[in-house]
Structure 1
């Protein structure tokens, strides 16, 4: 059967983010020479872009979660129905009143440095790390008031109010458990283990050659029977999407995810017997491309301007020109892939340049002699050619209504500093993960209390709404599914009325693997999975 992005018969994953350092295709650039299939059980994958850290407890940028998830584990894993399965916890029970969750912890688990994993590590990680420093954990774990440890293998989370989203936020790439004995008494944000993790996962950190590669080796004391299957996992840093495609063709990469290649080359990989293409693996992420406005800007502070920008975007044409059909248009902040929460009953903004011009006129911004009304800066992370094409597309759309768009492409550290550290931007475009539950992924972008200057991937727009805050806070603790859905319907309607963020599209990202690689999308977290079962056939 023909492999297409919507066919359930070909291996599937979504999501694109970033890049890194592209010189690494030449044989011999790595200390172990060129990589070939099944060479001493070594598998080469890539991450895009290069992560700026190794521990997802403090940084939820996509490349960080990909790497962190191989070394650091969470209490739970998840199946493709996004139902919890055992990881560091083997059993769990949510109290009838929703005010406690009891976890039975796996026995015999060792940290990579040989120390035992216990409930004290769970208590310390949740209370001292994730609640205080995790970009999403500050809201996801807000209801957790204490973690009791009646014995080494039992951890009881005490909650001030029900937290229905919490059970969807305990994967290793999202909420990794950290060793108390390594972090306690240190400046946790500067701890060396943040860039050389000490975890319980199937792979052990070995080295990080900046701009080139990351090497992880098999955890010989891993609790998973017969795992890991590989002796070594090499994560290559290759900045250019075309170079990544060439590395796959040459057998120098066996696996690449998060939309690793130019979208106009995806079809040829789908048609090749040498590769597998999978569009599953982002069910836990649901990454969305959205334009975040800086409401501190005098122009963008006016609702009419934000409405005009929505009407100025020809998003239907963008799906073909920018995404080559590998995307779905958004109607609001929640995608259709979350049917339990999604609604199409929201204010809509069809492509209508005449309406955009009328709104800008009404806002008091007349065209100058050059035809322009004002200029805006759009900053995006350096993440391959998709955002470059989108920037050029938006520049023309906005120019048609008299808004001059200056395009700025920045590496990840510069992007994070400019957008979240200094608020030095007008518009910003990046893939924001809404995860499997809006409380976990969406709330942080619209909730005023999530704003924390210097914390990446939270509310940077300056948007404040008492009504929105109340909706999100009520939804985060509402135990009744129908009542909770109603709250999120109102969230979507208000978000599309106030428009601090302009929704664009949900990219359909692919994961590509050599034909002899198995278990490369083992669950809904895709390439963020621990990869203990990742292997070559034969």
Structure 2
């Protein structure tokens, strides 16, 4: 689907006209969810309204946001990020360490006496089973960033070595999203996808398809009685307005996936402690005129990203500082500044570029609310590009096609026009530079649009990804992003938080990254 806007209509005028003012509305104070509906009279219960119902509950194979929302408190990792973002051991007894002589080997000591809730032991054999499973490309693991995993070797019941394909100093960050499943119970993948089993503070009770999933506290949890809520119900309500109405009526206690406008309507707002997501536009740099630095810079200078943040994100986001890493991340380059909004500079640069007759700037976005504010972002950017004299066509595709396009590296050259740009969202849930940087700058990553251009990036990227010397790796990441910024190799847009709503009295100790990876043992009610 194309979109053509008046060339005089810029981001600011379009957004002001498109967005209505929203009044803050009062909501109910906290009241307990209906425990009887969850099968637990007199217990302390919590109901969470979710925008997404999972298609499967097999967390390491089918890990969409609906899946991880439910499973993050059922299945556990070896190491995790605490609320401050620091790495902490979970199923590991201590943080794993690389071998002194062979950096492709990491030594892992496991906690003793832990069992899955079906009675299977969590031990070195279980770790090997899971590592080998997700490392097998035929399995189709849905976990981001596990591409360096090769295998695991059992040393004894509570000692295991993880082996990587190459030295990987960022392994602990990668495996913080790897939740472990029981080897025997998960053999029947179809059955397991409907009834997950884990070692976590909560365990699965039932799934009423199209309605809700219910969990209950794991009374035998190895970590003690940390969870406050006895039962938790995830109620599936796709429409944001209906979720908010249920919250204000006291039918649920928390709601997921809110926009800033939605947030103004709920009694209490919960956000991630840092940016949860970042967005950018990816070029195919091997296709003219996107191989022309002046053209790329013209596109960047033309976009009023401050207006995007103000009118789409109610200033709850931030304009990215010419890089796709959030502040505070290893490798974030503090010296870089965002390209300012300067349409006159954009026109001057555009005048240096010889464009084909009837050239049209094309960019692909997704539809259906898969990404927050995707449609509005596309229309606003199109307005800004048309304001500097470019014909623009924004194409909206289904989320499945969009994901295929992202993973394949973008639409390839067509005879009649150059490949379009693609709108990309990065999630910061695991908050490590290696995964994000690889997607933009690694020539072996299909998500990158570099092709064979800018070979000076390769040595710096290899150091950033492979050095165990943190200051050296940090400096290399900074160099990579300086090249990316100076050469305008992408269009950085907005970092924004994940936003939920709650009734008064419900508190959640949020950490960095997306809230759909909720740790239910951090939920407390006054």
> Does the alignment reach a TM-score above 0.5?
yes
Hey, what does 1:357 align to over in structure 2? Answer: 347
Deviation at 1:281, TM superposition (A): 4.1
CA contact (8 A) 2:284 2:290 kept: yes
Q: Which is further off, 71-80 or 192-201?
A: 192-201
SS where residue 472 of structure 2 aligns? helix
SS where residue 91 of structure 1 aligns? coil
Task: String of CA shifts for 1:301-330, please: whole Å, max 9, x gaps.
Answer: 544433222121111222212211111111
Say yes or no: does 1:477 pair with 2:443.
no
Distance in 2 (CA, whole Å) between partners of 1:411 and 1:42 is: 37
Hey, what does 1:10 align to over in structure 2? Answer: none
Task: Flag structure 2 segments of 5+ consecutive residues without an equivalent.
Answer: 1-32, 412-418
CA contact (8 A) 2:84 2:511 kept: no
Say yes or no: does 1:89 pair with 2:92.
yes
Say yes or no: does 1:168 pair with 2:165.
no
Hey, what does 1:288 align to over in structure 2? Answer: 278
CA contact (8 A) 1:93 1:103 kept: yes
Q: 1:264 aligns with which of 261, 264, 271?
A: 261
In the comparison of the two structures, how many residue pairs are matched?
480
Deviation at 1:223, TM superposition (A): 2.2
Task: String of CA shifts for 1:320-358, please: whole Å, max 9, x gaps.
Answer: 122111111112234452254221444853222233334
Hey, what does 1:200 align to over in structure 2? Answer: 199
Distance in 2 (CA, whole Å) between partners of 1:45 and 1:390 is: 29
Hey, what does 2:426 align to over in structure 1? Answer: 432
Distance in 1 (CA, whole Å) between partners of 2:77 and 2:370 is: 28
Hey, what does 1:324 align to over in structure 2? Answer: 314
User: 1:47–1:411: structure 2 CA closer, same or farther, 3 Å change rule?
Assistant: farther
Distance in 2 (CA, whole Å) between partners of 1:211 and 1:422 is: 34
Distance in 2 (CA, whole Å) between partners of 1:105 and 1:160 is: 22
User: 1:52–1:289: structure 2 CA closer, same or farther, 3 Å change rule?
Assistant: farther
CA contact (8 A) 2:319 2:493 kept: yes
CA contact (8 A) 1:520 1:526 kept: no
Q: 2:441 aligns with which of 443, 446, 450?
A: 446
CA contact (8 A) 2:410 2:421 kept: no
Hey, what does 1:128 align to over in structure 2? Answer: 133
Say yes or no: does 1:67 pair with 2:70.
yes
User: 1:377–1:476: structure 2 CA closer, same or farther, 3 Å change rule?
Assistant: closer
TM-score, normalised relative to structure 1: 0.76
Hey, what does 1:241 align to over in structure 2? Answer: 240
The correspondence of residues 29-428 of structure 1 with structure 2, limited to 5 A, is: 40-58=43-61, 61-95=64-98, 97=100, 99=103, 100-130=105-135, 132=137, 133-134=140-141, 142=148, 146-158=151-163, 162-171=167-176, 174-182=177-185, 193-194=192-193, 196-208=195-207, 212-257=211-256, 260-267=257-264, 269=266, 272=267, 275=268, 277-282=269-274, 286-295=276-285, 299-338=289-328, 340-346=330-336, 349-365=339-355, 373-381=359-367, 382-383=369-370, 386-410=373-397, 412-420=399-407, 423-424=410-411, 426-428=420-422
Which structure is larger by alpha-carbon Rg, 1 or 2? 2
Distance in 2 (CA, whole Å) between partners of 1:335 and 1:423 is: 21
CA contact (8 A) 2:363 2:395 kept: yes
Hey, what does 1:17 align to over in structure 2? Answer: none
CA contact (8 A) 1:76 1:88 kept: yes
User: 1:400–1:87: structure 2 CA closer, same or farther, 3 Å change rule?
Assistant: same
CA contact (8 A) 1:281 1:526 kept: no
Distance in 2 (CA, whole Å) between partners of 1:252 and 1:330 is: 38
Task: Flag structure 1 segments of 5+ consecutive residues without an equivalent.
Answer: 1-29, 452-458
Distance in 2 (CA, whole Å) between partners of 1:493 and 1:141 is: 26
The correspondence of residues 454-465 of structure 1 with structure 2, limited to 5 A, is: 459=447, 461=449, 463-464=451-452
Deviation at 1:473, TM superposition (A): 2.8
Distance in 2 (CA, whole Å) between partners of 1:193 and 1:460 is: 35
SS where residue 71 of structure 1 aligns? coil
User: 1:385–1:65: structure 2 CA closer, same or farther, 3 Å change rule?
Assistant: closer
Task: String of CA shifts for 1:261-300, please: whole Å, max 9, x gaps.
Answer: 231343464xx5xx3x3334457xx421212234576554
Q: Which is further off, 379-388 or 320-329?
A: 379-388
Distance in 1 (CA, whole Å) between partners of 2:296 and 2:67 is: 32
Deviation at 1:439, TM superposition (A): 0.8
CA contact (8 A) 1:165 1:440 kept: no
CA contact (8 A) 2:213 2:234 kept: yes
